[in-house]
Structure 1
Amino acid sequence: MEDDEPGPMHIRVLRPALASEDDLLSFHDAELVERLLSGEESTEDDAGFGLEDDCAPFLGMQEYVLAVAGASLAAAREIVEDRADVSICWDGGRHHAHKSCVSGFCYVNDCVLAILALRRLRPPPPAPSPGSTTMRPKLERARVMYLDLDLHYGDGVAGAFCVPNRAKGSNVLTLSIHHAARGFFPLAPCTPEDLLASAPDGGDGLGPLATENDPYTLTLPLQASASARTYAAIWPGVEAVACAFAPHAVVLQCGVDGLAGDPCAVGNWNLGGEGGLGWCVQKVVEEWGCKVLLLGGGGYSSPNAARAWSYLTSIAKGEPLSLETHIPDHAAFPAYAPSFTLDVPAGNARDQNDEVYLRRLVDELGKVAGVLRARQG
């Protein structure tokens, strides 16, 4: 999407090329890439690559992997080459795939590939400091923030960039806002129980939200039935981290499996209003002052995923649709019962994230933001 003139953005629809083997190798191990692209339906080594259960090999897997990766990379390149301020790939967001194995319905980690591509973005040069005699200020490396709104922890992306006990700064920061509980996939580095059991002062100034003591790899665990109230309450902490990091580009993973009505039956999020999914995305797109790549993610109610991503596209364009918009007649129209409108309202489940817990989350994010400001400075 381009924003050359005031008013709504202009949309260009692209037909992306397939990714190349080299594109995949920019993150994934050669052995995994070779297996994914082999064209074989099954081998005796598949379990070692995670190719079983919810990631079973299938006919056409090679083309599928290249298509998913190629689409997200094409969207990222539009930003890198300054042809778009906001770029969208709703078929992306496969955040569970790891460097050497697939996982959680994710055969390739297009999120990581897109982040690596966006690191080639050329940010505007900083203004010379007053009295400086330097003709050309030193160019910054592009800073990329990954913000994951999926119900599930973005473990594959976090693992790709986490540096245990990191002592220096980084140009990539990942923050996953997710449900966390014992037995809930995937295993999260911090659960609500872990957070509440930890000392509020955090000891080292980072606290439990910094995975493996890395302030650039953050996890934000939520309790059951997280609603718009919860997201509105934690958002100042999220923005404090973003402000401290000052990204030039944000990769926003918009998984919709935390919406009310999803078969996961864990979240109670809605589309509209303060704290809703649309509200969060609008904040990033309109107020954070950087390029934005919107990716899809989890979502096991197809009608709700279609509703959500249509609504988010309208927000990205600067012309938000009314949530009372009627669904047009088409072959799948009966699936949109009973409302047959764009809205995905919250259900009746009680949000388990109380004010004490939410304040603790915001306080912990504030501590991390302080560390980031010191590192970035």
Structure 2
Amino acid sequence: MADRDRVVAYIVSAELIAASSQLPSNKQRSSTIHSLIHELGLSKRVKVIRPVRASYKELAAYHTREYLDAVLAPQSSDAPKTPHSLSSHPESDFGLDSDCPPFPALPAYVPLVAGASLTAAQALINGVAPVAICWDGGRHHAQKGHAAGFCYVADCVLALMALKRAPPIAPCGRKPRIMYIDLDLHFSDAVSQAFASSSSTRIPQILTLSIHHAAPGFYPPSELATLPDPSSPSFNPFTLSLPLRAGAGPSTLARIWPLVQNVKDVFSPDYIVMQCGVDALSGDPCGVSNWSLEGLGNVVRDALAWGVPVLLLGGGGYNTPNAARAWASLTSIALNDPLPLDTPIPDHAAFPLYAPSFILDVPAGTMQDQNSDAYLRDVEERFAEVVRVLKTSMAPRD
């Protein structure tokens, strides 16, 4: 291990990989990712922790029992008996159709993925490592009572709830604050909704900030996905969105990132949870964004330098080899020893997937960036006001 290596808790098991590799939207993605990370020699340098399956009780801390009975049946044995029967609840009632069809490994997948993200959160709470990684997590669309957007379990929400219950922060004794940053192409609707608070009597422990593509008809539709309007009576400075237009490239990401840092500086979190969906990278089949791996790595590197424990989660990403490239690169950045972007892909079973470049890099493409200077100035002005309101909201309350 290099002297400069940072201790990184890496949550993985053969069981988790097997179940995650059957996810209908990302078949074999998990095995491809973990294989590349292993072949690059990174798995020898992280602290591998096997995930503990989430119990029914842990899942029910957020999800409805009716939904859990649907996704865990018939293999679930620890679920308490209920008067509900699946025959009275069609699969469509739980979102188990269309983009979230049932699949054979679903009863194992749900507790494994939730348990993996909970294991990662607990590693941070227990001081096992300053950084924890769960690339099979990051399912930010799953709702309390139904699957949505390729997501069957709200592992992000469950991990945030666990961090929220962490011991008080010394020496002041206040409850911990957690900042959730979502880099996925799609708005973090389920996570933002779960923690959107209208309370004016206390400072919320969790602040969510989603950076995402926004356009009419783009998934998921939500009033919370729009650019904040601090002048609105309904404005909530702890539930934030930073929507970007089509073609957002490295320069746009670099320009808006200081706005995220400004919010962080005011909120002063004790933990960071960063959802690192990679469907905004150039080459993703979604085809509406143009981030580079270098640009993504830069913002993750910045967050890791903030001096608080960080949980890195996966998320979207439908170009499997590029997802593997990205999360392997981010793993090396988490170790404080970034792999060069021109690192050759090692010869292994999945090697042909990495054609034609056969290197680690995912460069930006030639897509036109529609985030004009005028639009980005508007974003900057809005967030300057967001920070002002947030400062006021963070003032001690009686």
Farther-moved stretch of structure 1 (71-80 vs 36-45): 36-45
Q: Which residue matches 2:242?
A: 220
Counterpart residue identity of residue 323, structure 1:
L
Matches within 5 A, 1:1-377: 7-10=4-7, 11-39=46-74, 44-122=89-167, 124-126=169-171, 138-164=172-198, 168-189=202-223, 195=227, 202=229, 206-207=230-231, 212-272=234-294, 276-286=295-305, 288-377=306-395
**C-alpha separation in 2, matches of 1:294 and 1:159:** 20
Runs (5+) with no aligned partner, structure 2: 8-45, 77-85
CA shift digits 1:7-30 (9 cap, x unpaired): 222321011111101111111112
Contact kept? 2:176, 2:269, Cα under 8 Å: yes
Contact kept? 2:135, 2:312, Cα under 8 Å: yes
**C-alpha separation in 2, matches of 1:325 and 1:7:** 19
* CA drift at 1:357: 0.9
**C-alpha separation in 1, matches of 2:197 and 2:262:** 22
Farther-moved stretch of structure 1 (335-344 vs 158-167): 158-167
CA-atom RMSD in angstroms: 2.1
CA shift digits 1:143-181 (9 cap, x unpaired): 011000000000010110112475642110000000011
**C-alpha separation in 2, matches of 1:22 and 1:322:** 44
**C-alpha separation in 2, matches of 1:213 and 1:166:** 12
Structure 1's consecutive aligned runs of 4 or more residues displaced over 6 angstroms after TM superposition are none
Contact kept? 1:190, 1:221, Cα under 8 Å: no
Q: Which residue matches 1:130?
A: none
**C-alpha separation in 2, matches of 1:111 and 1:33:** 17
SS at match of 2:258: helix
Q: Which residue matches 2:26?
A: none
* CA drift at 1:235: 1.2
**C-alpha separation in 1, matches of 2:168 and 2:385:** 27
SS at match of 1:141: coil
SS at match of 1:281: helix
* CA drift at 1:122: 3.0
Contact kept? 2:141, 2:188, Cα under 8 Å: yes
Counterpart residue identity of residue 284, structure 2:
D
Contact kept? 1:90, 1:295, Cα under 8 Å: yes
**C-alpha separation in 1, matches of 2:357 and 2:157:** 37
After TM superposition, the score normalised by the length of structure 2 is: 0.83
Contact kept? 1:237, 1:363, Cα under 8 Å: no
**C-alpha separation in 2, matches of 1:167 and 1:154:** 26
After TM superposition, the score normalised by the length of structure 1 is: 0.87
**C-alpha separation in 2, matches of 1:186 and 1:156:** 10
Contact kept? 2:169, 2:176, Cα under 8 Å: no
Counterpart residue identity of residue 124, structure 2:
I
Distance 1:165 1:80, change over 3 A: closer
CA shift digits 1:316-339 (9 cap, x unpaired): 000000000000011221211111
SS at match of 1:178: strand
Runs (5+) with no aligned partner, structure 1: 127-137
**C-alpha separation in 2, matches of 1:152 and 1:269:** 14
Contact kept? 2:140, 2:188, Cα under 8 Å: yes
Contact kept? 2:184, 2:276, Cα under 8 Å: yes
Farther-moved stretch of structure 1 (7-16 vs 116-125): 116-125
Counterpart residue identity of residue 372, structure 1:
L
* CA drift at 1:121: 2.6
**C-alpha separation in 2, matches of 1:271 and 1:284:** 15
Percent identity, aligned pairs only, is 49
Contact kept? 2:53, 2:111, Cα under 8 Å: yes
* CA drift at 1:123: 5.1
Distance 1:18 1:190, change over 3 A: closer
**Number of residue pairs aligned between Structure 1 and Structure 2:** 347
* CA drift at 1:364: 1.4
